[in-house]
Amino acid sequence: MTARDDIRRTIREGRYSGPTSGLYPGYLQANIVILPQSVAEDFLTFCLANPRPCPLVGLGEAGNPGLPDLGADIDIRTDVSRYIVHRDGVAVEEHTDIRDLWQPDFVTFALGCSFTFENALMAAGIPMRHIETRTTVPMFSTNVSTLPNAVFGADLVVSMRPIPEDRVADVTEICDRYPFAHGAPVHVGDPGEIGIRDVTSPDWGDPANIRPGETCAFWACGVTSQVALAEARIPYAITHKPGAMLITDVPETEARILGGGHMV
């Protein structure tokens, strides 16, 4: 896969349903949450209150599967490599196409993804283990609270990447340039300090081999939004499968966080 159009066509046609890390470097990737309009305003408020795990980069109109600010031809019903259907807060089904599940009151939220800054890290000579091994980045629940509202709230979920101990300052400086992709790590070092008991056993994704001379770096993760959905027991929602993101047409250098406003 070398061209963005080829990637989107391949995903849209159901010929690729795997992780998207490393696909079409240089362009923003996004977590996806699709909710009924009745709870969308509350979810918007949750995202705006928690921009590190839920940096809002795109917002659809009710019933419209397009996200024109992120790509002229995006159809959110087909352009994510794998979807999860949640009923009453429980993940019950996986799909590669949700056209038959689409409802006229659905609102789509696109949240920035840490895959975006990985290209900058690799360009600086900092390896990304999950890209080397073609696996999904490991993700963990923590004991760090987000700011809740009347409907949504959850403990922070983080993604983890082993990085060379002597490059921690470089990683922090580089990632701080990407607030729309979770920004700098929220924690580096002992996983137990943020409630992770076993860093070799992730809650989502695949384990990462930590080599001598490396330390664990943890970033706020968009899967936090899926935990918030589960804890709110929303009757019906659709998200991407962790690691299987929407690839947008927005260059990483032009991405931004939506600062507020209300849905039409």
The CATH number linked to 197 is: 3.30.2040.10
Pair 88, 143 in one domain = no
Which residues pair with residue 94 across a beta bridge?
Answer: 84
In this prediction the pTM is: 0.88
pLDDT digits (tens, 9 = 90+) for 195-234: 999 999 999 999 999 999 999 999 999 889 989 999 999 9
Q: Measured between alpha carbons, how far is 20 from 35 in angstroms, rounded to an integer?
A: 23
Residue 243 Rama label (left phi>0; alpha psi -120 to 50; beta): left
Residue 166 belongs to a domain = yes
Which strand (E) or helix (H) includes residue 168? helix 168-175
Q: Tell me what the mean pLDDT of segment 254-262 comes to.
A: 63
Q: Measured between alpha carbons, how far is 30 from 42 in angstroms, rounded to an integer?
A: 20
Q: Measured between alpha carbons, how far is 151 from 200 in angstroms, rounded to an integer?
A: 33
Pair 121, 100 in one domain = no
The CATH number linked to 96 is: 3.40.1640.10
Q: Measured between alpha carbons, how far is 49 from 44 in angstroms, rounded to an integer?
A: 9
The yes-or-no verdict on residue 237 having pLDDT over 70 is yes
Residue 97 belongs to a domain = yes
Q: Measured between alpha carbons, how far is 227 from 156 in angstroms, rounded to an integer?
A: 9
**Phi, psi at 139, each rounded to 5°:** -130, 145
Residue 260 belongs to a domain = no
Number of domains comprising the chain:
2
Pair 191, 169 in one domain = yes
Range of the domain at 134: 117-223
pLDDT digits (tens, 9 = 90+) for 124-175: 999 999 888 888 899 999 999 999 999 999 999 999 999 999 999 999 999 9
